[in-house]
Amino acid sequence: MELVKQSKGRELVWILEHPLTFTAGIRSSENEVLDKTIKIIKTNRGGKISLHSPGQKIVYFVLNLNLRKKDIKNLIKKVELSIVTFLKLYEIKSYTDKKNIGIWVKNKKIAAIGIRVSNWVAYHGFSININNDLNYYKKIIPCGLDNTKVTSVRNECKNEITQIDKKLSEIFLKNLKNI
């Protein structure tokens, strides 16, 4: 992080999928874990309990806001715009919610955002449920919300889901130019 802050290191963006993993953000509590047999990995990102699993795309980044606008709200808006724009490619109408961070479709969460900023370096990222098994959400209270109120691109899309990484990276990188 220090190298990125001092401009000696490059900013990073990468897209991946995790094996089945449950993480706890800094605002999580133990009562959000319904299945006490699962392993929870503690992180320093914002947010509560989250699920990462095969079929879910995770976009991680390390961005130096010292070289951009020092505006965290603007960064979050660009992340949200990127997700909404990506979902439009699959004819999915999505929206933000002022009370609950993330992206929503028909009152169900399809994408989560968890960002941390330290010394104006932003890191962690966001996830989008593409074709992951949503039953794993029954083991937790994801992001402090009703675990039945999650959805995926597969559940909402009428079209074939193709070239996800390419489309998602093009959209996100384009929006990064305006941060």
Q: Which position among 143, 150, 168, 171 bears the catalytic label?
A: 143
Query: Is 157 among the residues known to form the active site?
Result: no
Domain count, the chain: 1
Any residues with CB less than 8 A from the CB of 173 and at least 6 apart, and which?
Answer: 13
Higher pLDDT, 148 or 137: 137
Q: What average pLDDT does range 15-24 have in this prediction? A: 95
CATH number, domain with residue 36: 3.30.930.10
Q: Model's pTM, two decimal places?
A: 0.90
Any residues with CB less than 8 A from the CB of 127 and at least 6 apart, and which?
Answer: 50, 52, 56, 57, 58, 59, 111, 112
pLDDT tens for each residue of 48-57: 899 999 999 9
Show the domain range for 148.
2-176
